[in-house]
Amino acid sequence: MGFAALLKGFREVLRSARRARPTKTRVLCPRCGSEELKLSNWLDGWLTPTRYYCQRCGYVGPIALEVDEESAQRG
């Protein structure tokens, strides 16, 4: 694979990234479905693995439900 082909592939990736619409997402608790989910520590997702804490049911763990607004409105 030559440099020109590599550059063409890179340009294609950049074009597709520009076309992709950013979607708004909500993070929900996997246990109770609450939106009252916070990171358990200020280092989460940066220096340590992400762990969530639900203020409603007390869930603590690495799993959260991520729902985009568009699909949530569709049902």
Tell me the mean pLDDT in the region 14-37: 81
Whole-model pTM over 0.85: no
Tell me the mean pLDDT in the region 54-64: 94
CB crowding 52-68: b at 16 or more within 10 Å, else e: bbbeeeebeeeebeebe
Q: Which residue has the higher pLDDT, 21 or 12?
A: 12
User: What is the chain's mean pLDDT, rounded?
Assistant: 82
Tell me the mean pLDDT in the region 68-74: 66
Q: Which residue has the higher pLDDT, 31 or 71?
A: 31
pLDDT number for residue 43 = 84
